[in-house]
């Protein structure tokens, strides 16, 4: 039985992971570059993340957390 909200949530999380990779790569590059004479001349701008067309579903996340015994601890906050 298809669960569209679960799929949307999975797509949202995977997309957030992917769009944040460019930011993480630029940050890592700049941190490593800071120890070289090229720190200013070769520094990369931190890219703005593109919009994510998917939205995690709070009810799906709560259901999964409860099913795993994680309760309402650290994680996605739908508020």
Q: Is the pLDDT of residue 77 over 80?
A: no
Residue 46 lies in a domain: yes
Give the count of domains, the chain: 1
**What integer pLDDT is reported at residue 66 of this predicted model?**
84
32 alpha-carbon distance from chain centroid: 22
Residue 47 lies in a domain: yes
73 alpha-carbon distance from chain centroid: 18
Quick check: 61 and 15 in contact, CB under 8 A? no
Residue 19 lies in a domain: yes
What tens digit of pLDDT does each residue of 1-54 get?
778 999 999 999 999 999 999 999 999 999 999 999 999 999 999 999 999 999
**What integer pLDDT is reported at residue 63 of this predicted model?**
87
Q: Which domain holds residue 37?
A: 4-67
DSSP letter assigned to residue 43: P
Residue 15 lies in a domain: yes
Residue 78 lies in a domain: no
Q: Is the pLDDT of residue 79 over 90?
A: no
Residues 44-67, buried b or exposed e (16+ Cβ, 10 A)? eeeeeeeebeeebbeebbbeeeee
Residue 39 lies in a domain: yes
Q: 30: exposed, middle or buried (C-beta count within 10 Å: 0-12, 13-18, 19+)?
A: middle
Entry pTM:
0.66
Instruction: Give the confidence band of 72 by pLDDT, cuts at 50, 70, 90.
Output: low
Residue 76 lies in a domain: no
Q: Is the pLDDT of residue 73 over 80?
A: no
């Amino acid at each position: 039985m298809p669960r569209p909200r679960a799929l949307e949530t999975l797509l949202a999380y995977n997309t957030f992971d992917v769009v944040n990779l460019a930011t993480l790569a630029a940050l890592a590059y700049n941190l490593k570059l800071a120890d070289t004479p090229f720190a200013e001349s070769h520094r990369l701008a931190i890219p703005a993340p593109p919009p994510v067309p998917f939205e995690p579903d709070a009810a799906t996340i709560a259901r999964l957390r409860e099913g795993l015994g994680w309760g309402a601890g650290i994680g996605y906050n739908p508020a």
